Chains A and B, each alone.
Chain A
Amino acid sequence: MDNFSTLIGGIAGDGINEAGITVARLFCRLGYNIYMYYDYPSLIRGGHNFSLVRASSKKIAAHMDQIDILIALNQETIEKHAVRLKDSSFVIYDADKVMLEGITQKGCGLPITSILKEAGAPAVMKNTCILGGYCKVVGINWSILESVLKKHMEKKLEQNLLVARQGYDQAIESYRIDSLSSKIERNPLPIITGNQAISLGLIKAGLGAYVAYPMTPSSSVLDFMAKFGPQFGIKVIHPENEIAVMLMAQGFAYAGVKCAVGTSGGGFCLMTEGLSLAGMAEIPVVVVMVQRTGPSTGLPTYTGQGDLNFILSAGQGEFPRFVVAPGDAEDAYYWSAVALNMAWKYQVPSFILSDKIVSESQYNFELAGAGTVEEEATQQWSGQGKYQRYSFTDNGVSPMAFPPQKGQAIKTDSYMHDEFGITTEDAMLNKKMTDKRLLKERYLADDLERYEAVKVLSEGNGESAKTALLCWGSNKGVCQEAAEKLGLRAIQVLVLSPFPAKQLKDALQGIERLVAVECNATAQLARLGGFFGFEIDDRILKYDGRPFSLNDLESELGRRGI
């Protein structure tokens, strides 16, 4: 079985996200790779939520429209997702709540509400009960579900097991999901979101503080850091607003603590003045910037890639910045560590430009597969002579020192300043300092040659391809898969600043037709590429807040004769 998709839907408050993760964990224990898209509106109770879990023997990071199993906790789920059913699909539903009228596919109704009532279990256990039925239907052994629940149910395990078993016993087996475990020599992998991977990457590279004001879809980095950060000595702060967030990050950095902040578009707008301060004062700071659909409040819980232009030029004045857009959890881990390293090596702002899909989707995550990255040393002051915070050097990077330093004053300044860090309006010095700051970008760009800043995703058949898909961020998964299927080359631009023009040129060898695939309305990567002389022949754009499914992309390509 190459692909198996399960959709579970209900109202907000039904625990749909957690239920989807449970399904994902079941498949991971059977040796499958998983990807889960979680779709939810911006409200706490009611509304329609669904998790779409795809399992595959291959590594995946995209969903398909059609599903094999539909798990419906309410009628709306049937109405909304009946179109996804194939002839062979199967529906599992709460028979006390849902009618299967007009559905020709096979189904299995479980009296969920009655089962819960009998067991005296609260309504939130609906999903555990129906997942019991699900395991029976798809032929996943009870012991596997039992082990997942035992590991992850924090509350009322016994009762959960009871209702799950009831669901299991009352359903009938209709599929047999083979275990791949005998073929694949590996332990089950952890399942994490991109935001969790970002957090781990930052921790890996020596993060000492995380400051954020909650904003979807970045908040789960804050949640993760608040929960797990203290064991790594990380100070986690949720202050009054994003302006404070950005400035606090710089207070931390001034005192020698590596700090990251996290937000989404609107919150980042408030950070831009502080960002410019970091540019001028050469203060390292990492910004986790998770895009959602804009402008303004937009669609808070949906995706978009509309902030690239903004991130590349945010903040008054000219200063270098590092911007990376990971495409899945492993990218997110690796490149977040790199982003923290780069910020401190070059004393520049560094962005992890994510999007809702990367940040909130679930991926099976292999630490070893993510790439080796270590915390890099920052250039420290030798301790000789008089310390000058902004001393001129060959590469523009002035060695750092942090208070206290006996007999020294460490001075940071938002005004134009001299080497010591005292305000000056001297014309020559102003020019020289500006050159110094910009010089760092050249060395940063050279340094990037050590990294795969542009990745050719579809090795093999992609080599002879004449058509390439150009993508960034979460479209990595869907482009890679479509390219492999259709004999195209998929190219992922990971680093967006400094723009890896040389690496992109190499990646494009032999390509005659270049198609940009983006989740925005104005093809921002295509525009950026154009600035560096890359001609984009076609643009496939999606900007309804939803990610491309594999089918979406294939049909768009088909329409273009590709």
Chain B
Amino acid sequence: MNPMDLATYGKNTWCPGCGNFSILSAIRSVLAELDGQMQSIENVVLVSGIGCHAKIVDLMNVNSFYSIHGRVLPVATAIKLANPDLTVICFSGDGDSLAEGLDHLVFAAKRNIDVTLILHDNRVYGLTTGQFTPTSPLGFKGKSTPNGSFEHPLNPPELMLASGATYIARGYTHGIGLLQKLFREAILHKGFSFVDVLQVCVSYNNLYEAYNKRTYELKDHDASSYEEAQKVIRSWNYDGSDVPIPLGKFYEADARRLDQAYRGSMPNALDRDNSISELLENFI
């Protein structure tokens, strides 16, 4: 399958130069490639929240559920529980999953539900035109914090590690090869996969220069070690400092998943009726 077969007539309204284009291109090629291999495309369901990131589903000729702001993961979780054969991929923003929907993110990791979440982490509210988010650095001057934000940023991979996610990685929208690799790994991983993508927002938080200077790809990192993962994740805290920013897979583990918890199929109507009558006997 050609990645362009996954395009739609939906109008792309991202700003020229937006990092979302890389994510779109990377996910199209990964899904096109997987279609020929282990996961045929009709088994894939995309779920998005609301924000610039979320528009990606309109640009993908793939099953999708364009949800509401912050509510990507409950939808995705239920789709996976409803039909564990589906591959569920979520696109979310830093406002979407770290502010409005933080509870769901922590719980998805805690449940280790077998879905993938790609965080378009531009560290700003794009669609509402430039307010600070949970990953904006301390002192960020956004529309709602004209004098600089007063809060330290969250470190999303650290939060995910603590919450029980079993695949944690970071990519950067300047580096599509690595993005593709991480997306593929995340999708194929069994369990909750979290890919934090440093997605540049050219309009409200253009960090190209800083990222180009400071990001580096991890080598010889032992992703099976929780301690090593924690160390590398903590080496950069999303603050404004100029420490190096690691990219790549931080952590991968195998653990029980919520989607393994539900077995059994629904009886036919006749058996159901009989079971209802039998059940009522208990109440006489």
Contacts and interface: CB of A to CB of B under 8 A. Distances in A.
Interface of A: 25, 28, 151, 187-192, 196, 200, 203-204, 206, 208-209, 211, 228, 230-235, 237, 239-241, 243-252, 254-257, 259, 273-274, 277, 365, 367, 374-375, 402-415, 417, 421-423
Contacts of B79: 251-252, 254-255
Nearest to B9: A422
A409 B75 contact: no
Contacts of A414: 50, 66-68
A235 B284 contact: no
A273 B68 contact: yes
A203 to B, nearest CB: 6
A251 B65 contact: yes
Contact of A423 (B43, B55, B75): B55
B68 A254 contact: no
Given A203-B272, A274-B71, A411-B63, A237 B81 contact: yes
Contact of A404 (B86, B272, B279): B86
Nearest to B71: A247
Interface string B265-283: 1110100110111011111
Interface string B57-94: 11011111111100101111111011101100000000
Contacts of B64: 409-413, 421
A409 B61 contact: yes
Contacts of A410: 63-64
Nearest to B269: A375
B8 interface: yes
B239 to A, nearest CB: 29
- Interface SS of chain A: helix, strand, loop or mixed? mixed
- Interface size class on chain B is 35 or more
Contact of B266 (A233, A246, A247, A273): A233
A196 B282 CA distance: 12
Interface string B1-16: 0000000111000000
A404 B40 contact: yes
Given A206-B266, A209-B81, 6 more contacts: A240-B104, A257-B82, A257-B83, A259-B78, A273-B71, A365-B280
A514 to B, nearest CB: 38
Closest A-B pairs by Cβ, 3 of them: A251-B78, A233-B266, A255-B82
Contacts of A208: 82, 266
B62 A409 contact: yes
B36 interface: no
B68 A274 contact: yes
Given A409-B63, A422-B10, A248 B275 contact: no
A415 B66 contact: yes
Contact of B262 (A196, A235, A256, A409): A235
Nearest to A256: B82
Contacts of A404: 40, 42-43, 63, 85-86
27 contacts: A25-B284, A188-B284, A192-B283, A206-B269, A206-B272, A232-B266, A232-B272, A233-B265, A234-B266, A235-B262, A239-B74, A239-B107, A246-B74, A250-B75, A254-B75, A256-B82, A257-B83, A274-B68, A277-B71, A367-B280, A403-B45, A409-B61, A411-B64, A414-B50, A422-B8, A422-B58, A423-B10
B71 A203 contact: no
Contacts of A244: 71, 73-74, 103-104, 107
